[in-house]
């Protein structure tokens, strides 16, 4: 598994309500992503940033989902270039589901 960390700056003056509305608008698109295990949206109003933590089956799927068209949409919508980092994820503790999720190798 791979955890992908995506962060981008928001335009000045954007409200929390606008940020959350954008998250809700695109959430269904991510529900149809077959190799996405989980997405956690994040928002930091003091820094003027938003993004997400994604848990993917593999890095290739993450990179495919966040290709040039996706980057351009972030640029067009928020006026910033997203920063992306990848982390190997050997184990997830999921208290909501009450289980451990090991990587599938």
Calculate mean pLDDT across residues 72-87: 96
Calculate mean pLDDT across residues 78-103: 95
d(CA 62, CA 87) in angstroms, rounded, equals: 11
Tokens 């799927």 locate to 61
Number of H helices, E strands in the chain: 3, 6
pLDDT in tens, 2-57: 999 999 999 999 999 999 999 999 999 999 999 999 999 999 999 999 999 999 99
What are residue 17's phi and psi, to 5 degrees?
Answer: -60, -40
Please report the pLDDT score of residue 25 as a whole number. Answer: 95
Please report the pLDDT score of residue 17 as a whole number. Answer: 97
Domain positions in the chain are: 2-102
Is residue 50 within 8 Å of residue 16, measured between CB atoms?
Answer: no
pTM of the model: 0.92
The CATH class that applies to domain 2-102 reads alpha beta
């Amino acid at each position: 598994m791979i955890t992908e960390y995506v962060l981008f700056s928001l335009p000045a003056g954007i409200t929390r309500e606008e940020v959350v509305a954008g998250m809700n608008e695109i959430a269904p698109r991510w529900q149809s992503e077959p190799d996405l295990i989980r997405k956690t949206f994040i928002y930091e109003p003091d820094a003027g940033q938003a993004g997400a933590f994604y848990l993917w089956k593999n890095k290739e799927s993450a990179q495919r989902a966040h290709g040039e068209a996706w980057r351009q949409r972030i640029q067009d919508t928020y006026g910033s270039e997203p920063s992306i980092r990848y982390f190997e994820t050997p184990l997830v503790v999921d208290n909501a589901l009450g289980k451990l999720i090991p990587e599938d190798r």
